[in-house]
């Protein structure tokens, strides 16, 4: 993926960050890409991308103790009818007073080409945006349920599925053992113990002392 300049906050973005450090929820809503070029525009005054082309969903966020927030997303050409060079990336957030605002923006030093959908090239490139959130009390994001799963998330899911399969296999084995024991019990009860399935077959009572009941030598059983 192309190299970009550092994420620069807009004036509205800095104002929202101040609010967030005082306790207001900082909620990121989306990422947007475009082909606009930075030719001297004052970033402070920007409220949207210079030339927006496509919105991207947010797949996850991570906030560390040093005041950095990583926003995970991916660029895809799904639904894209016209190709373009990705020259700008914007991060949007929800301001409780202003509504959705352009929180910050970054520009490509050398842009990548994003082809239109339907050709021979399918694009799905994961990337993350890193922003300084300082001492913001609470940070969240609108997580898209239409985006692609990341490789890291997929690998975690594979591990979980494998663990579940191993547990299911063990449970199946345990159930089979219990079923066999129940079958033995049912067979023993159904034939009134005349064909006993247990270790003692009652064929003789050698070395066995009967303390209760009567030994039926004909049917080879104990009668209680």
189 C-beta neighbours (distance < 10 Å), count = 10
Give the integer Cα–Cα distance in Å for 191 and 27.
Answer: 71
Among 67-76, 87-96, 138-147, the range of highest mean pLDDT: 87-96
Among 14-28, 66-80, 117-131, the range of highest mean pLDDT: 14-28
Instruction: Considering only residues 3 and 112, tell me which one the structure prediction assigns the higher pLDDT.
Output: 112
* Cβ atoms of 2 and 96 closer than 8 Å: no
| pLDDT tens digits along 143-188 | 766 544 455 555 565 677 677 777 777 777 778 777 777 776 666 6
b/e sequence 115-141, b meaning 16+ C-beta within 10 Å? eebeeeeebeebeebebebeebeebeb
Place 217 in a pLDDT band, splitting at 50, 70 and 90: confident
Q: What is the pTM assigned to this prediction?
A: 0.65
| pLDDT tens digits along 42-85 | 999 999 999 999 999 998 888 888 888 999 998 888 888 899 99
For residue 208, the SS3 value is coil
Calculate the alpha carbon distances from 120 to 41, 117, 126 in Å.
Answer: 36, 8, 20
As a whole-number percent, the residues of the chain with pLDDT over 90 amount to 36
């Amino acid at each position: 993926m192309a190299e970009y300049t550092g994420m620069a906050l807009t004036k509205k973005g800095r104002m929202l960050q101040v609010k967030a450090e005082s306790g207001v929820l900082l909620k990121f809503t989306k990422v947007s890409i475009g082909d606009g070029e930075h030719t001297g525009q004052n970033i402070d005054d920007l409220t949207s991308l210079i030339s927006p082309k496509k919105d991207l969903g947010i797949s996850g966020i991570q906030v560390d103790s040093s005041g950095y927030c990583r926003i995970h997303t991916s660029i895809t050409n799904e639904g894209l009818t016209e190709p373009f060079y990705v020259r700008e990336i914007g991060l949007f957030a929800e301001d409780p007073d202003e509504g959705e605002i352009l929180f910050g923006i970054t520009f490509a030093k050398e842009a990548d080409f994003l082809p239109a959908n339907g050709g021979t090239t399918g694009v799905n490139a994961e990337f993350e945006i890193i922003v300084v959130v300082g001492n913001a009390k609470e940070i969240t994001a609108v997580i898209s349920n239409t985006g692609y799963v990341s490789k890291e998330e997929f690998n975690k899911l594979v591990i979980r599925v494998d663990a579940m399969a191993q547990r299911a296999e063990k449970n199946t084995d345990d159930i089979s053992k219990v079923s066999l024991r129940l079958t033995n019990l049912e067979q023993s009860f159904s034939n009134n113990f005349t064909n006993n399935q247990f270790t003692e077959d009652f064929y003789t009572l050698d070395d066995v002392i009967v303390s209760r009941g009567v030994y039926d030598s004909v049917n080879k059983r104990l009668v209680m």
